[in-house]
Amino acid sequence: MLVKPSIPNPVETLAATDFVGPAELLADLLGGGSTALRRQAAHNLRDYPECGPQLCDILAEEPRASVRAAILNTLIRLRSADVIRGLVEHLRSENATLRNEVIEVLQDMPDEAMPILEQLLTDWDSDVRIFTANILSETKHPRTPDVLIGVIKSDPHVNVCMAALDGLLEIGDESMIDSIQQLGERFPEAPFVKFAVSLAIKRLQGVDYARGTT
């Protein structure tokens, strides 16, 4: 009786005979191979922190959501200052999906991200400052309330201040009311700011929006 020879699994054979280092994994990720191959390469790169900046660059070019998710999961594990700096550059992207993915990842790294996010609050681009305020509002870093208060006290752009105010509504308390009141005075030409400030103060005081009662 003829016995059909077994065909070895190429992945198992490779694992048993060859060392696959970061250069090979990056080549797999960039080489246009199958989605599964690229996803596995991104996963395996979590053992190579020096590849963090390159992974951040690859994010903008990767078309498959599942591969980007694998890259982002690896970057969360690496969570270095270089990774944070690489990720925040994507806040300038015109790709809203990529921006939102990066925002979610940065929210998961509050301790590592906070120093760089504070720097971004002085960025020339008001959209970047808005995204940064949005990120901060979802982090659980102890400095977040003070940082957002600093934004509403000093940022020259009304929309940035409103983003910071929205964040304070999620994490603030009555001790912030005086600072929030000053926001309405900073933009007297924008009636919607005074309205938002009034609602924010009521909320921080525990007053129901609709009924006006505590």
Q: What is the mean pLDDT of residues 107-117?
A: 93
What Cα–Cα distance (Å) separates residue 81 from each residue in 53, 88, 138, 144? Answer: 10, 11, 19, 18
* Predicted local distance difference test score (pLDDT) of residue 31: 87
3-state secondary structure of 50: helix
* Predicted local distance difference test score (pLDDT) of residue 19: 59
Task: Name the more confident of 180 and 209.
Answer: 180
Instruction: Please name the residue that has the structure tokens 């020259």.
Output: 156
* Predicted local distance difference test score (pLDDT) of residue 210: 40
Fold of 18-108: Leucine-rich Repeat Variant (1.25.10)
The amino acid sitting at 89 is E
Number of helical (H) and strand (E) elements in the chain, helices listed first: 13, 0
130-173 confidence digits (pLDDT tens): 999 999 998 878 999 999 999 999 999 999 999 999 999 888 88
Instruction: Return the structure tokens found at 89.
Output: 């550059």
In the chain, what are the domain boundaries?
Answer: 18-108, 112-209
Determine the Cα–Cα distance for residues 199 and 190; give it in Å rounded to an integer. Answer: 15
Neighbours of 36 (CB within 10 A): 10
Q: Are 87 and 117 in contact (CB under 8 A)?
A: no
Instruction: Please name the residue that has the structure tokens 């900046």.
Output: 53
Work out the mean pLDDT of the chain and round it to a whole number: 87
Residues recorded for the chain: 214
15-67 confidence digits (pLDDT tens): 444 657 999 999 999 988 899 999 999 999 999 999 999 999 999 999 999 99
The amino acid sitting at 63 is P
Give yes or no for residue 211 having a pLDDT over 60. no
Task: Name the more confident of 87 and 5.
Answer: 87
Tell me whether domains 18-108 and 112-209 share a fold.
Answer: yes
* Predicted local distance difference test score (pLDDT) of residue 17: 40
Determine the Cα–Cα distance for residues 58 and 63; give it in Å rounded to an integer. Answer: 10
The amino acid sitting at 124 is W
* Predicted local distance difference test score (pLDDT) of residue 184: 86
Predicted confidence band of residue 209 (pLDDT cuts 50, 70, 90): very low
Give yes or no for residue 120 having a pLDDT over 70. yes
* Predicted local distance difference test score (pLDDT) of residue 207: 54
> Domain 112-209, CATH 1.25.10 — does that match?
yes
